[in-house]
Amino acid sequence: MPFYPITRFIDGFHQGYFMAMDATEVFSQWALAGKDEGMERGHAPSVSQMLDLVLPKCPDAFEAIDLGCGNGWVVRLLSKLGATHVEGVDGSLEMIEKAKVTDSNGIYSHGLLPDWRPSQKFDLVHSMEFLYYLKDPEEMLAIIHDEWLNDGGFLVAGVDHYAEHEDSLGWPEHVGVHMTTLTIEEWTSAMSKAGFCDIEIHQVAKKEGFPGTLVMLGRASR
């Protein structure tokens, strides 16, 4: 059975309903429909392995941000895993409102990227299923490196849409939003050009019909 971590969340909607929308509008509709909970369940195995890869590299007292935080579930998870300060940002206002209702003490910001900037730098930037929605992911990687991370801080980013995941190549048309399709080599090069060092590339949570979430892990060095 092919693995469709994005398209399965639009069951019950007519595909054409999304055709004129951008990604933030699509995710807002999913939040209103309660489909964010399915996204959380679908992404949890990959995120768990991503955090297993990066957290041992972080200081004991680390500060983190989840880029594209959705309903805030990774923010809450990072808090449980020892972050002394953690916040989230998302372009969907409905997702942010849902995060604030669930976690009234959490720090959640509504911001359109790549223009939005955090008020501080972090030891860890986490991102799952966000970067390929941008027209220029490499630009965002450079911004994260230069403006979001402390020197020596880490980015761990996961994407399910990439060239080697053939089933994902139809997602842009199916969902009706722009997706930048890069190869594993191109993602690796983008990390390097953005300034990251000690770059690691992994494919995690593999299963039948799914080659795994592509994970880019790198350390900021200035």
Pick the range with the lowest mean pLDDT from 27-31, 50-54, 82-86, 153-157. Answer: 27-31
Rounded alpha-carbon distances, angstroms, from residue 111 to 32, 94, 151, 198, 205: 18, 12, 24, 29, 29
Asked if residue 47 belongs to a domain, the reply is yes
Asked if residue 40 belongs to a domain, the reply is yes
Nearest 5 degrees, angle CA 70-CA 72-CA 77?
A: 135
142, 194 contact by CB (below 8 A): yes
The CA-based diameter of the chain, rounded to the nearest angstrom, is 48
- What's the burial of 60, exposed, middle or buried (CB within 10 Å: 0-12/13-18/19+)? exposed
Q: What is the pLDDT of residues 149-183, one digit of tens each?
A: 999 999 999 999 999 999 999 999 988 889 999 99
Task: Write down the mean pLDDT value for the chain.
Answer: 87
Tokens encoding 83: 């972050």
Asked if residue 1 belongs to a domain, the reply is no
Asked if residue 2 belongs to a domain, the reply is no
Return d(Cα 95, Cα 103) in angstroms, integer.
12
Residue 5 has pLDDT above 80, yes or no: no
The domain that holds 171 is classified in CATH as: 3.40.50.150
Q: How many residues in the chain? A: 222
Structural domain of 187:
7-220
Q: What is the pLDDT of residues 63-110, one digit of tens each?
A: 999 999 999 999 999 999 999 999 999 998 999 999 999 999 999 999
Pick the range with the lowest mean pLDDT from 23-37, 61-75, 79-93, 125-139. Answer: 23-37
Number of helices (H) and strands (E) in the chain: give both, helices first.
7, 7
How many domains is the chain partitioned into structurally?
1
Asked if residue 198 belongs to a domain, the reply is yes
pLDDT band at residue 10 using 50, 70 and 90 as cut-offs: very low
Return d(Cα 121, Cα 47) in angstroms, integer.
22
pLDDT band at residue 37 using 50, 70 and 90 as cut-offs: low
149, 196 contact by CB (below 8 A): no
Asked if residue 77 belongs to a domain, the reply is yes
* Tokens 């359109």 sit on residue: 112
